[in-house]
Copies of this chain bind each other. A is one copy, B any other.
Amino acid sequence: MELNFRSDNESPAAAEILAAVVEANRGTAWSYAEDQWSAQLNAAFSDLFGIATTVVPLSTGTAVNSIALATVTPPWGAVYCHEGAHILQDEGGAPEFFGNGLRLVGVAGANGRLHAADLRHAIKSNNGHGVHSYLSSALSLTQCTEAGTLYQPDEIAALCDVAKEFNMARHMDGARFANATAALGCSPASITWQAGVQMLSFGASKNGCLAAEALLFFGENQWQERAERLRKRSGHLLSKMRFVSAQLLAYIKDDCWLKLATHANHQAAQFAGAVRAHAQAELEFPPAANEVFVRWTASGFAALAAAGIQFLDWPSRTDLARFVFSHSTSDKETEVLCQTLQSLGD
């Protein structure tokens, strides 16, 4: 038994995914995404999303986000995102690199969420000075947010409406898109293109794949060639792309992705309940999917760690830690976590 709640990035691949990789390893296949698995992606994702969808398979979320943003944003363009967004805080400047010096503008918002009025205010504050300012070019939302919270479909639509007002592209970083969709119980369409999102970073590595992500464009778009140029130019066009595409196909087949995410979300909910029941520890943000942020004493966290529980101390905060649950977290592991927390509560 492992008691590792640091990150879903640390989870192994799911059996279905590994089986698909093994299965794809038969004979020769055209290289550079010209293979038969890659050829099925557009149809499979179009079916999933209920709209003509163009799929660009990739192997890291950072690459997907960066290619997406650089595809729609000129070097003198600004991308608006939450101030805690992964693209701003955790990608080592990849968006700026792919985008040749584009700028990310972080906007504050409670619980990891942007609000339409704040977004509009930020855009207005940055506009109106012509070539001396950056051009407001794109909005990037994160679903689930970095705080483990969610946007409802109408909230997404409201934010996309603001972006449309200013003629900006709309992107969603869906590193945990499966967890969001499973938690909301909605269709994937309802929180993406139906709400105004044009591009989705469809994450899969955190939820059961070895290394598989996809950039999705919804509906007619003129961006595919740019995205494919950037994919090659950034060294992300794998010669044996079949192994990535095979993962993606298996991942969305028979609701595999949602089953895996539902399991992870359920574990998180159990733990959230334990935190709520605890005398001292508190929930920093209202948990909605597979991440739980706990505010507690440094000594409390130290005791938890001493009991063998692994979690993430939040950078530059001694009173905050993150617990993440994945498709591979067992009921038993979650139970031990909850009991251990409880035992330290008195």
Q: Smallest CB–CB gap between A325 and chain B, Å?
A: 12
Q: Chain B interface: which of A86-94, A110-118, A181-189?
A: A86-94
**Cα distance A134–B100 in the bound complex, in angstroms:** 16
- CB–CB A31/B10 < 8 A: yes
Cα A180 to Cα B103 in complex, Å, equals 31
Question: Is the beta-carbon distance between B9 and A31 smaller than 8 angstroms?
Answer: yes
> A10's contact among B4, B13, B29, by CB below 8 Å, is which?
B29
Contact partners of A103 in chain B: CB under 8 A: 93, 96
B233 A235 Cβ-Cβ under 8 A: no
Residues of the B chain whose Cβ atoms lie less than 8 Å from the Cβ of A9: 31-32, 239-240
Report if A28-B13 is in contact (Cβ < 8 Å); known contacts: A232-B91, A234-B234: no
- Closest partner residue, chain B, to A29 (CB atom): B10
Q: Are the CB atoms of B75 and A243 closer together than 8 Å?
A: no
For the complex, what is the distance from the CA of A99 to the CA of B102, rounded to whole Å?
A: 12
Cβ of A205 < 8 Å from any Cβ of B? yes
CA distance A129 to B93 in the complex (A): 13
Q: Which of the candidate stretches A60-68, A145-153, A257-265 sits at the interface with the other chain? A: A60-68
User: Given the known A-B contacts A93-B103, A233-B76, are A60 and B239 also in contact in the complex, defined by CB atoms under 8 Å?
Assistant: yes
Measured CA separation A310–B272 after assembly (Å)? 58
Please report the C-alpha to C-alpha distance between residue A28 and residue B26 in the assembled complex, in whole angstroms: 28
| Contact with A240, one of B76, B211, B233 (Cβ below 8 angstroms) | B211
Residues in B with CB closer than 8 Å to A210 are: 21, 25, 240, 243
Q: A63-B234, A129-B315, A205-B238 are in contact. List 20 more A-B contacts (CB 8 A).
A: A4-B28, A10-B31, A12-B25, A13-B243, A21-B210, A32-B132, A60-B236, A62-B232, A62-B235, A64-B235, A92-B232, A92-B233, A92-B237, A94-B235, A96-B96, A97-B100, A131-B231, A206-B239, A211-B211, A235-B236
Residues on A facing B (Cβ under 8 Å): 2, 4, 6-7, 9-13, 18, 21-22, 25-32, 59-64, 66, 74-76, 89-94, 96-103, 124-125, 128-129, 131-135, 205-206, 210-211, 226, 228-240, 243-244, 315-316, 328
